[in-house]
């Protein structure tokens, strides 16, 4: 194995870069954090502190860092969704390999163009599909590979976004207005779409989809609810989505969006909420992201599957149905059976209960930690296409996501090969 330290730099110093820097800094034998760019001085300062590198270089923005000669092996692209394509293309042209935050881009034409550019330049792009690196999905994959389930015939999966998270990110937050960000099925669930073809070992051929905003609209506003929680709402203190919770039990969510969350007084935070998108009543926002969506999929091997994303559940659930047995896994299994996976053998009727060795580092069930641990090895593979979450593999799940949005909006079944061709490939 190549043990030369991998030099990391980043464009965009938000929550994602901070997680990656913190995890990389704990593995100095593998990584050296050398530079970062962000408009906000406080964020650059935090990146510098996390780097633990006295020679760390900071820059105002993407242009400034890319105007320098190449500073690192890998550029982390972790600006907001709408900027990924421009920043990723420029960094590829400068000679960087990339750790690219999902989504690859907010539209399919750019996703395919980036794939083409990386291929032409011979660069490696690892997309942050962190679920592939979680101990949970690695265990599910190992059960499938062991053959105990026989041939997988169908599956059901659910991603519960959780009501507060939906309100924070997809009603008030960065991904609420699809036209400015990405369809919710990609913004939240490209991870899940990515996992399905990986688990069943076959590409998706066609899909259909339904979904809408059922709850987060004016029709569900409590009587007398003003535009902002801070404007004297009659349900203050009782509403699940009361923005005052950012001062108490939801403080960790405030830390993601407000740089002074840890030091500001309550009065200062309330003042901030009076102006910020996160102080708005969730029933009086400009959100266009759905709060529930279901996708039905047909895979090349004949496997069929359904996936439901809903605001009104929490965590992921998965059921795989094979010719020899079935696997039930995820949140509901954890709550009812006290383990992560249950494997049932149809012939013997035996149940095997599996508990996964979860990691506590970072969010996403250890996926962030797994991704950073694997980044060095992934970037050292002689064949870039073999990277677990290579750009080529990730393009497939983005194709599924954009196709699911078209299927939802048009009420049609979308054949992925046709869809790809229509978008210029
Ligand atoms: N992989 C995952 O599981 C996962 C989870 C959450 C978010 N994301 C994705 O990660 C990305 C980043 O999310 P975040 O929450 O860290 O965002 P964020 O908004 O907290 O951070 C983005 C940063 O980019 C900076 N920025 C904007 N324009 C810039 C420029 N031209 N040059 C340099 N910096 C610039 C902003 O100042 C900001 O600090 C998003 O695209 C999001 O969808 C991925």
Separation between Cα atoms, residue 239 and residue 244, nearest integer Å: 10
Q: Residue 4 is inside which H or E element, if any? A: none
The CATH number of domain 132-216+288-422 is 3.40.47.10: no
Atom of ligand 1 nearest to the CA of 174: 19
- What is the token pair recorded at 293? 């969506």
Residue 103 preceded by cis peptide, ω within 30 = yes
Report DSSP state, residue 323.
S
Residue 423's pLDDT is 85
Pocket of ligand 1 contains residue 73 by CB under 6 Å: no
Residues 271-302, buried b or exposed e (16+ Cβ, 10 A)?
ebbeebebbbbbbbbebebbbbbbbbbbbeee
| Residue 67 CB-density burial (10 A; 0-12 exposed, 13-18 middle, 19+ buried) | exposed
Atom of ligand 1 nearest to the CA of 129: 1
CA 84 to centroid of ligand 1, rounded, Å = 9
Model confidence pLDDT, tens digit, residues 163-200: 999 999 999 999 999 998 889 999 999 989 999 999 99
- What is the token pair recorded at 258? 């407000």
Pick among 3.40.50.150, 3.40.50.720, 3.20.20.70, 3.40.50.1000: CATH of 6-131: 3.40.50.720
Pocket of ligand 1 contains residue 259 by CB under 6 Å: no
Residue position matching structure tokens 């060795």: 357
Contact 287, 170 (CB under 8 A): yes
Pocket of ligand 1 contains residue 367 by CB under 6 Å: no
Contact 243, 273 (CB under 8 A): yes
* Distance spanning both ends of the chain, measured CA to CA: 36
Shortest CA distance to 14 belongs to which of 60, 78, 76, 63? 78
Question: Can you name the residues that pair with 389 across neighbouring β-strands?
Answer: none
Residue owning the nearest CA to atom 3 of ligand 1: 130
CA 336 to centroid of ligand 1, rounded, Å = 36
Pocket of ligand 1 contains residue 414 by CB under 6 Å: no
CA 345 to centroid of ligand 1, rounded, Å = 44
Separation between Cα atoms, residue 44 and residue 50, nearest integer Å: 10
CA 78 to centroid of ligand 1, rounded, Å = 4
The pair phi, psi for residue 244, each rounded to 5°, is -65, -15
Atom of ligand 1 nearest to the CA of 40: 37
- Sequence ranges of the domains in the chain: 6-131, 132-216+288-422, 218-279
Separation between Cα atoms, residue 228 and residue 270, nearest integer Å: 11
Distances (CA, A) of 200 to 35, 107, 172, 346: 39, 26, 35, 19
Determine the residue of 9, 16, 77, 110 to mutate for testing ligand 1's pocket, defined as the one with the most ligand atoms within 8 A of the Cβ atom.
16
Determine the residue of 10, 12, 65 to mutate for testing ligand 1's pocket, defined as the one with the most ligand atoms within 8 A of the Cβ atom.
12
CA 104 to centroid of ligand 1, rounded, Å = 12
Per-residue pLDDT of the chain (425 residues; tens, 9 = 90+): 457 999 999 999 999 999 999 999 999 999 999 999 999 999 999 999 999 999 999 999 999 999 999 999 999 999 999 999 999 999 999 999 999 999 999 999 999 999 999 999 999 999 998 888 888 999 999 999 999 999 999 999 999 999 999 999 999 999 999 998 889 999 999 989 999 999 999 999 999 999 999 999 999 999 999 999 999 999 999 999 999 999 999 999 999 999 899 999 999 999 999 999 999 999 999 999 999 999 999 999 999 999 999 999 999 999 999 999 999 999 999 999 999 999 999 999 999 999 997 665 555 667 888 899 899 999 998 887 788 778 988 999 999 999 999 999 999 999 999 999 998 76
Contact 299, 203 (CB under 8 A): yes
pTM of the model: 0.89
């Amino acid at each position: 194995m190549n043990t030369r330290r991998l030099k990391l730099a980043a464009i965009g110093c938000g929550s994602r870069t901070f997680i990656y820097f913190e995890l990389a800094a704990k593995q100095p034998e593998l990584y050296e954090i050398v530079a970062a760019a962000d408009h906000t001085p406080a964020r650059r300062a935090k990146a510098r502190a996390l780097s633990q590198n006295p020679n760390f270089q900071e820059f105002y923005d993407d242009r400034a860092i890319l105007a320098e000669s190449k500073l690192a092996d890998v550029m982390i692209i972790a600006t907001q969704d709408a900027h990924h394509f421009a920043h990723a293309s420029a960094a590829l042209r400068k000679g960087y390999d990339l750790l690219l935050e999902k989504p690859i881009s907010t539209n399919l034409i750019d996703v395919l163009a980036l794939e083409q550019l990386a291929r032409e330049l011979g660069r490696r792009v690892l997309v942050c599909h962190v679920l592939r690196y979680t101990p949970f999905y690695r265990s599910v994959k190992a059960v499938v590979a062991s053959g105990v389930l026989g041939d997988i015939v169908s599956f059901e999966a659910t991603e519960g976004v959780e009501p507060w998270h939906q309100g924070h990110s997809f009603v008030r937050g960065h991904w609420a207005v699809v036209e400015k960000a990405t369809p919710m099925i990609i913004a939240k669930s490209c991870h899940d779409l990515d996992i399905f073809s990986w688990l069943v070992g076959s590409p998706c051929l066609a899909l259909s989809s339904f979904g809408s905003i059922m709850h987060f609209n004016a029709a569900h506003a409590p009587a007398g609810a003003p535009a902002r929680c801070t404007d004297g709402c009659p349900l203050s203190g009782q509403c699940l989505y009361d923005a005052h919770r950012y001062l108490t039990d939801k403080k960790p969510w405030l830390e993601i969006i407000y740089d002074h969350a840890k030091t500001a007084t309550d009065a200062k935070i309330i003042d901030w909420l009076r102006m910020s998108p996160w102080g708005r009543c969730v029933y009086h926002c400009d959100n266009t992201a759905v709060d529930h969506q279901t996708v039905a999929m047909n895979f090349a091997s004949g496997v069929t599957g359904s996936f439901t994303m809903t605001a009104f559940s929490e965590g992921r659930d998965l059921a795989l149905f094979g010719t020899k047995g079935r696997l039930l896994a995820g949140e509901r299994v954890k709550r009812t059976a006290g383990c992560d996976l249950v494997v049932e053998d149809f012939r013997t009727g035996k149940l095997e209960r599996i508990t996964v060795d979860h990691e506590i580092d970072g969010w996403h069930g250890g996926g962030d930690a797994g991704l950073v641990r694997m980044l060095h090895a992934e970037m050292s593979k002689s064949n870039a296409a073999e990277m677990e979450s290579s750009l080529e593999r990730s393009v497939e799940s983005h194709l599924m996501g954009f196709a699911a949005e078209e299927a939802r909006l048009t009420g049609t079944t979308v054949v992925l090969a046709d869809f790809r061709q229509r978008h210029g490939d």
